[in-house]
Each structure stands twice: as structure tokens, then as C-alpha cells.
Structure 1
Amino acid sequence: MYLALKHFHITCVVLSGCGFALRGWWSLSGSPLLQARLTRVLPHLVDSCLLGSALGLAWMAAQYPFVHAWLTAKVLGLLVYIGLGSVALKATRPRAQRAIALLGALATLSWIVSVAVSKNPLGWLAWL
């Protein structure tokens, strides 16, 4: 059961990250696809599955944020990712600001993934 949930979680990470990158691109290019119903609804569904699977994995593995440093790092990174992502997709923000926020959010996402893979709270920052 754990392995199936882990694979589901990883699939949700990939779908969420790719979907965010695509919506960021559409935001910068002014694409009308950003306003499509599916574009507005699907990310919430995927991210809800992502969060639910993350909570399930943490419970099954008995590893919790603020107890295990790498999970704490992931949760804090997630907050940064959400903040940058909201700036990146906000149509009222200047295009340059959205582009910088998009790059920052994608870099943060890659760091979160590196923390998950390495179980090191520094993630790829440990190599610097």
C-alpha cells in the first residue's frame, strides 16, 4: 500500500509541477487558455490529491514535519513555492515580476524534490 501511495504522490508532483509551468507560460504569453474552466479546476484537484497522498505517506512512515528536519524543510519550501506561484500567476502583476516569480517557484519546486529524494533538508543546496 505504501509503495502504491508513493507512486501516486510522485505522479501528482509531476502533474502539479508540469501544470504549474504550463500555466506560468500561458500567463506570461497572455494565452486565453489560462481562463479555461479545466485550467482553473484541474490544478486544485491534482494539488488536493498531492496533499492527501503526502499526509498519508507521512502517517504510514511515521515521519512528521517539525520532528524530521527534511520534512520540515519540504513544508517550508512548499510555503515559499505557493507564495512565488501566486505572484507568477497573478495577471495584475507586471510581466517581469511574474517571470522572476515563475523561475523562483520552479527552482523552489526542484529544491523540494531534491529534499524528498535525498532526505537531506538542504537538498541540492548541499552541493554548493
Structure 2
Amino acid sequence: MIEHYALIKHLHITAATLSILFFLLRAWWSVREVPMLQARWVKIAPHIIDTLLLTLGLVLMVMLSLWPHQHPWLAAKLIALLAYIGLGTVAIKRGRTPRVRAVAALAAVATFVYMLGAAILHSPLSWLT
């Protein structure tokens, strides 16, 4: 399986890129209250992309024997993922006003940037290292 590491990592990065780009589009639609946000494919696509992203991340974790209790950067990234998901739900559907949704979207993007830094730098301090 290690012989497929480069492919799996590339697919994980591609899924992460698609996830954040589609999140940004949906957050913009949510803040602007664009009806397209209610289209069936718009509601289904993020689940497919994010399931692929999470699955590939888990495969990489197992393949490389990287466990959150042994690697603080990975634990921090997973905790940040939970925050990102929570903020994302407020940004897309749970925020009562466009302003609340916009603030949640900005916080979600900042959380994503933190996760990116933790992954690249292998540090729970992310970009602050």
C-alpha cells in the first residue's frame, strides 16, 4: 500500500482543495441568500467530497502509522476539524442572519488555514512555528 502513498496524498490534497473552494461558494451563497444553495446537488456534493477527504486522511494516517496521541500536530488538526465542521454548519445553514453566517464562514476559513499549516509544518502551532 505504501507504493500508492503519493497518489493517496495527492487525492487527499485535491479533495481538501475542492472542499474549501466549494465551502467558499456555498458560504457566499448563504450570506447572499442565493436560492442555488437549495439545489439538490449542492446539498449532496459536499458530503461526497468530505467523505472522500476524510477517508483518504484516515488511509494516510494508517498507512504511515501516524496516531493523534503520538503526534500533537495531528491531534490539533483533528480537533480543528471538529471546529471547522461546527463553524461550517453555522455559516451554511444554522446562522440566523447573513452577518452571523459571514462571521462563521470567516472563522471556518481561518480554521481551515490553521489545519493546513498544522499539516504542512507538522506542528500544533501551525503557521506560528
2:5 maps to 2
1:67 maps to 70
CA deviation after TM superposition for structure 1 residue 37, in Å: 1.1
* Structure 2 Cα separation of the partners of residues 47 and 92 of structure 1: 21
% identity of equivalent residues: 44
> Unpaired segments of 5 or more residues in structure 2?
none
1:37 maps to 40
Query: Does 1:88 find its partner at 2:88?
Result: no
Amino acid across the alignment from 2:71: H
2:27 maps to 24
Please say if residues 111 and 124 of structure 1, whose CA atoms lie closer than 8 Å, have aligned partners that are also in contact. Answer: yes
> Unpaired segments of 5 or more residues in structure 1?
none
Q: Deviations over 1:31-87 (max 9, x none)?
A: 111011110111000000001000000001100112210100100100110111111
| Runs of 4+ more than 2 Å apart | none
2:105 maps to 102
Amino acid across the alignment from 1:46: I
Q: Deviations over 1:86-120 (max 9, x none)?
A: 11112551111111100000000011011101111
Please say if residues 32 and 98 of structure 2, whose CA atoms lie closer than 8 Å, have aligned partners that are also in contact. Answer: no
* Structure 2 Cα separation of the partners of residues 35 and 113 of structure 1: 29
Change (3 A) 1:92 1:72: closer
Change (3 A) 1:54 1:5: same
1:55 maps to 58
Name the SS of the counterpart of 2:124 in structure 1. coil
Name the SS of the counterpart of 2:93 in structure 1. coil
Give the TM-score of the pair, scaled to structure 1: 0.95
